[in-house]
Structure formats: structure tokens, C-alpha cells
């Protein structure tokens, strides 16, 4: 059995679909649906059962699943970079992860692959190397990043990283993110206005060394991120923390221009001031160092930004934004 926490969410549901396509249907989906519409991501999927996240952790610790779990993809978390309830993030993102990893200590045959985040790198002044010896020097800029970082530190301190895999996802975008609200990618949020008015709005730069729209990100298409994630199930590569990104940074202007190109429209970008509350926490540059990933043997060919944006815009956003 394969467990996917956050299985109704963005990366989790695309991962489940990819597993279905590979012939795996013995999936246990763990999530908390609430009043969102992420349940729609489950509709096309084949899985054995769905369990609420609260019930799952209790049943897991109680021993209800015995030795039946082969792999746990622990992707479930609050992914809001603007969440201010620190107690909630500590319980939901950090403590929940600790409980799963502690359970795995008595179930060593289970492969545990968990989601960390590029938000743990903070402003990037120390670079973006996934060398675990540098974990203690990182300074996340927001509470979400810290909740992820805290578990990385805990796993390192406990020696768990010699047996489990942590994945630091960079700027993932693509189908099945509709339910994420403000945490949707710019591609998803900008598409309706681009389609209807022919314009895309981006944040101004508030640093003299970056022009407007020249802020850079490592944008990775969700399908490529999922293929890199599955590598660690399909190949018993060395455990530890790995960056999940393309290894190439592109500007927000590049992203916007790729959207215009996908629709055959003339570029028309408007820049607006970045909210004051966001400025101290804003990353102006991210780029995954993928050397460790390549050394482990992962050779996923990531789509170019133009290829992935064109597929997302033309194949998914022209519909309901989900994989059917």
C-alpha cells in the first residue's frame, strides 16, 4: 500500500494520478477536505480508501495498518506563506511530520518521502545547496518556511535523514492547484485577466539591483516535480534532503511572456507596488542546486518554462485547470 498525505492537494493528487498511470491503485489518500473544492482533484483517481488526516495519524500510531504500508509520501501541510497562526503551523506542519517519522522508526521497511520547501532557504544569501551540514545556518523568512525547516533540523538531529528522504520543492505550478486560493501560481491567477483583457500584472521590484519583473524563480512544472518525487520510490537512492527544481532560474517577465506566447497575444505587462507586509519576506532569486539530485541518478528532463506554461495554459487552464 502507498500512502499519500495531502493526496487531494496539488502535488499529491498529480502524484496519485501518475501512480495510477503506472498501474498502482492500492493508494490510501490522507487529507482534510474542509469546505474547499480540492475534492474535485480526487474524482479521476483510483484509490483504496480516503482517511481524514486526524484519523490517519491516530490509526497509524495505534498500529491499525500493521506492516502493510510500503511507501509514505508525506506531502500534506499548510502551504500558505502568509499564514500567521504559528501554533497551527507548528502542529500541522512540524509536529505531524515528527509523529509520522517516529512511527517509521519501528517500521524500517517503509519508505518515507516527505515534502520540505525552498522557503527554508530564506533570502538565499547562503545559496541553495541541499547539503545537510548547512541546515543550521539557514534562516527562513516566514513561519511556513520555518515550520518546514524545523522538521528538517529535527530529522537531521535524530539521524533520520540516513533513512528517509526530504524534498525541497521550489516554485511548483501546474494543473490541480485551483483550490489553493492566494497560494496558486501566478500562471493560474493571471490567466483569466490575460484571456479577457490581454494584460498581466506583476509586482514592482523594490531593490535597485532588480528591474521590475526581473525577480527570478526556479519555476518547475508539477508533472516534472512528481517524476522527480517518484524517482525516490522507484530507485533506492541515498536518503537525505534533495532540491526539487529545474536548476535554472527565470524571471517573472519570462513567465508572463511565455503566457502571452501560449495564447498568441502581444505582451502587455503592468507593474504594481508590492504590499508592504510582503517586502521583508520576499525572495528575489531562487535556483535549485541540483548537483546532489543528479549524483543520486535522477535524470528527469524538465520541460522548459515555455513548454510547461504552454501545456498548462492550453491544455488545462482553458478548461477547469484540473487533470481529468
Could you list the active site residues?
A: 144, 180
Residue 293 to residue 316: CA distance in whole angstroms: 29
Burial label, 109 (beta-carbon count in 10 A; 0-12, 13-18, 19+): exposed
- Which residue from 172, 198, 205 is spatially nearest to 186, judged by alpha carbons? 172
Burial label, 310 (beta-carbon count in 10 A; 0-12, 13-18, 19+): middle
Cell numbers for 27: 493508494
Angle between helices 222-234 and 10-21 (to 10 degrees): 60
Residue 199 to residue 206: CA distance in whole angstroms: 22
Question: Residue 62, Cα to own-chain centre: how many angstroms?
Answer: 29
**Residue 221 three-state SS:** strand
Q: How many residues does the chain have?
A: 324
Cell numbers for 226: 512528481
Cell numbers for 98: 515528527
Cell numbers for 183: 497560494
Amino acid at each position: 500500500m502507498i500512502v499519500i498525505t495531502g493526496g487531494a492537494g496539488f502535488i499529491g493528487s498529480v502524484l496519485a494520478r501518475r501512480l495510477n498511470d503506472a498501474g498502482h491503485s492500492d493508494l490510501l489518500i490522507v487529507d482534510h477536505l474542509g469546505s474547499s473544492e480540492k475534492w474535485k482533484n480526487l474524482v479521476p483517481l483510483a484509490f483504496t480508501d480516503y482517511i481524514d488526516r486526524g484519523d490517519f495519524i491516530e490509526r497509524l500510531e495505534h498500529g491499525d495498518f500493521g506492516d502493510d504500508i510500503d511507501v509514505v509520501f508525506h506531502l500534506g501541510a499548510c502551504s500558505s506563506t502568509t499564514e500567521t497562526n504559528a501554533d497551527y503551523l507548528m502542529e500541522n506542519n512540524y509536529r505531524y511530520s515528527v509523529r509520522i517519522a517516529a512511527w517509521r522508526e519501528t517500521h524500517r521497511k517503509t519508505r518515507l518521502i516527505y515534502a520540505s520547501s525552498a522557503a527554508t532557504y530564506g533570502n538565499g544569501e547562503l545559496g541553495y545547496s541541499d547539503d545537510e551540514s548547512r541546515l543550521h545556518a539557514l534562516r527562513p523568512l516566514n513561519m511556513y518556511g520555518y515550520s518546514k525547516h524545523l522538521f528538517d533540523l529535527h530529522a537531521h538531529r535524530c539521524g533520520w535523514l540516513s533513512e528517509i528522504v526530504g524534498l525541497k520543492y521550489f516554485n511548483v505550478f501546474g494543473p490541480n492547484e485551483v483550490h489553493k486560493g492566494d497560494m496558486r501560481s501566478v500562471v493560474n491567477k493571471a490567466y483569466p485577466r490575460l484571456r479577457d483583457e490581454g494584460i498581466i500584472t506583476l509586482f514592482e521590484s523594490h531593490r535597485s539591483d532588480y528591474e521590475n519583473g526581473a525577480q527570478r524563480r526556479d519555476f518547475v512544472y508539477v508533472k516534472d516535480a512528481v517524476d522527480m518525487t517518484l524517482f525516490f520510490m522507484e530507485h533506492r537512492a541515498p536518503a537525505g534532503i534533495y532540491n526539487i527544481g529545474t536548476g535554472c532560474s527565470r524571471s517573472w517577465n519570462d513567465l508572463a511572456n511565455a503566457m502571452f506566447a501560449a495564447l498568441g497575444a502581444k505582451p502587455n505587462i503592468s507593474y504594481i507596488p508590492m504590499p508592504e507586509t510582503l517586502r521583508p519576506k520576499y525572495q528575489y532569486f531562487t535556483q535549485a542546486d541540483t548537483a546532489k539530485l543528479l549524483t543520486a541518478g535522477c535524470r528527469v528532463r524538465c520541460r522548459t518554462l515555455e513548454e510547461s506554461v504552454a501545456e498548462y495554459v492550453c491544455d488545462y487552464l482553458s478548461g477547469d485547470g484540473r487533470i481529468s
